[in-house]
């Protein structure tokens, strides 16, 4: 039976429990494992700790991962890639060279009789006005044009410094705050009042979370990350399950 897979927050280019190179190999093993029964693959943002495409230049590295994605699309398996806050400057390389479907905002999808909202998750929900303001600036085409004027050696050194600093700060916050304070839970609670949704699947939070929402039917699923959890989700046509790859004993936070 074919299945739909979801994963996010690989943060390739940054070392964590494993080096980035070792983590890339681990992701490749996971992709090889799921390829036999995957009907679609959703990679929900922050695949890279930093990504920028000049007009005729893309970042060095991660070629095995990129090649594996091309194997999926060449084999007829649709791959959806979402831009995250660390790789929002993706342009047309992934669509033109790898054949992926690129998304910059949350999307709604119907799979059988189940309706999904899927997105990276950054900038959603109440609060965090400072980040939302900064994101608006960075997402503007003028900002990207100006950044492209920098020499790649300097541009990537500067970006990696700020990216790593942001990630280190976020690690300190990666603990469950409770349904009333988790802003993606609050966002999900709001969305299920506006439309009929069965599953709301996001990344960005870096914690594998399976949360039953207040209507006692819809579920907020956070995909966790591959820095520490190696977590992903799979939809079998009826239910979504959070799973872990090469991480025995791990379990999602059930709420």
User: Which residue do the tokens 């992709």 mark?
Assistant: 31
Fold of 3-160+175-254: Purple Acid Phosphatase; chain A, domain 2 (3.60.21)
Report helix angle 141-148 to 129-139, nearest 10: 60
Enter the tokens of residue 100: 């992926």
Cα separation, 229 vs 243, in Å, equals: 10
Assess contact for 255 and 213: CB atoms under 8 A: no
Cα separation, 104 vs 230, in Å, equals: 24
Beta-carbon contacts of residue 180 (< 8 Å; ≥ 6 apart):
186
* Cα 123-200-190 angle, rounded to 5 deg: 65
b/e sequence 198-214, b meaning 16+ C-beta within 10 Å: bbbbbbbbbbbbbbebe
pTM summary value: 0.87
User: Which residue do the tokens 């699309």 mark?
Assistant: 73
Side-chain half-sphere CA neighbours of 155 within 13 A? 19
b/e sequence 65-97, b meaning 16+ C-beta within 10 Å: bbebbbebbeeebebbbbbbbbbbbbbebbeee
Assess contact for 197 and 117: CB atoms under 8 A: yes
Q: What is the pLDDT along the chain (255 residues), one digit of tens a residue?
A: 699 999 999 999 888 889 999 999 999 999 999 999 999 999 998 999 877 677 677 777 799 999 999 999 999 999 999 988 877 667 788 889 999 999 999 999 999 999 999 999 987 867 655 555 555 556 666 666 665 566 666 566 655 655 555 555 454 456 888 888 899 999 999 999 999 999 999 999 999 999 999 999 999 999 999 999 999 999 999 999 999 999 998 889 888
């Amino acid at each position: 039976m074919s299945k739909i897979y979801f994963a996010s927050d690989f943060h390739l280019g940054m070392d964590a429990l494993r080096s980035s190179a070792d983590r890339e190999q681990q992701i490749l093993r996971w992709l090889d494992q799921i390829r036999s029964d995957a009907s679609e693959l959703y990679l929900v943002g922050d695949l890279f700790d930093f990504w920028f495409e000049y007009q005729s230049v893309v970042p060095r590295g991660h070629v095995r991962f990129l090649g594996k994605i091309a194997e999926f699309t060449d084999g007829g398996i649709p791959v959806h890639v979402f831009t995250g806050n660390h790789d929002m400057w993706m342009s047309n390389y992934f669509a033109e060279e790898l054949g992926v479907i690129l998304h910059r905002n949350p999307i709604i999808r119907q799979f059988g009789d189940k309706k999904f909202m899927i997105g990276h998750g950054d900038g959603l929900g109440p609060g965090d006005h400072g980040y939302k303001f900064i994101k608006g600036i960075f997402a503007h085409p003028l900002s990207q044009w100006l950044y492209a004027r920098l020499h790649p050696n300097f541009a990537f050194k500067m970006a990696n410094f700020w990216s790593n600093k942001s990630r280190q700060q976020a690690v300190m916050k990666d603990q469950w705050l409770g349904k009333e304070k988790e802003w993606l839970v609050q966002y999900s609670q709001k969305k299920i009042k506006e439309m009929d949704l069965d599953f709301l699947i996001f990344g960005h939070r870096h914690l594998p979370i399976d949360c039953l929402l207040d209507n006692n039917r819809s579920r907020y699923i956070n995909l966790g990350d591959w820095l520490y959890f190696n977590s992903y989700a799979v939809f079998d046509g009826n239910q979504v399950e959070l799973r872990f790859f090469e991480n025995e004993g791990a379990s999602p936070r059930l709420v």
